[in-house]
Structure 1
Amino acid sequence: MPLALLALALGAFGIGTTEFVIMGLLPEVADDFGVSVPTAGYLTTGYALGVVVGAPLLAVLGARVPRKRMLMLLMGLFVVGNVVSAAAPVFGVMLTGRVIASLAHGTFFGIGSIVAAGLVAPHRKAAAISMMFTGLTVANVVGVPAGTMLGQELGWRVTFAAVAGLGVLGLLGIAALVPAGRAGGPDGAAHPAGRSRVRGELAAFRNVQVLLAMAMTVLGFGGVFAAITYIAPMMTDAAGYESSSVTWLLVLFGLGMVAGNLVGGRLADRALMPLLFTALSALAVVLALFVFTAHDKVAAAVTLPLVGAFGFATVPPLQKRVLDQTADAPTLASAVNIGAFNLGNALAAWLGGLALDAGAGVTSPNWVGALLAASALALAVLSALLERRAATPDPSASASPRVVATGGTRHPARVVQPSATE
Structure 2
Amino acid sequence: MAFLRLKLHWQILIALALAVIAGLLTGTEAGLFGVTFYSVFDFVGKLFLNALKMLIVPLIVSSIIVGIAGIGGSQNLGRLGGKTLLYYMSTSLLAILVGLMVVNAIAPGIVDGQPAKDLIGFTTDVSTFEDQVAGRGAGDVIEVFLRMVPTNIVAAAAAGQMLGLIFFSLLYGFFMTRIAAGYAEVQYNFWQGVFEVMLKITDLIMRFAPLGVFALVAKVVASTGFDAFVPLATFFFSVLAALAIHFLVTLPLLLYFVGGVNPVRHFKAMGSALLTAFSTASSSATLPITMECVEKNAGVSNRTTSFVLPLGATVNMDGTALYECVAAMFIAQAYGLELTFASQFTIVLIALLTSIGVAGIPAASLVAISIILAAMGLPVEGIGLILAVDRVLDMLRTATNVWSDSAGAVIIGKLEGEQGILEEQPRRA
User: After TM superposition, is the score higher than 0.5?
Assistant: no
Which bin holds the TM-score, normalised by the shorter protein? under 0.3
Q: TM-score, normalised by structure 1?
A: 0.25
Q: TM-score, normalised by structure 2?
A: 0.24
Give the structure, 1 or 2, with the largest relative contact order (CA under 8 Å, sep 6 or more).
2
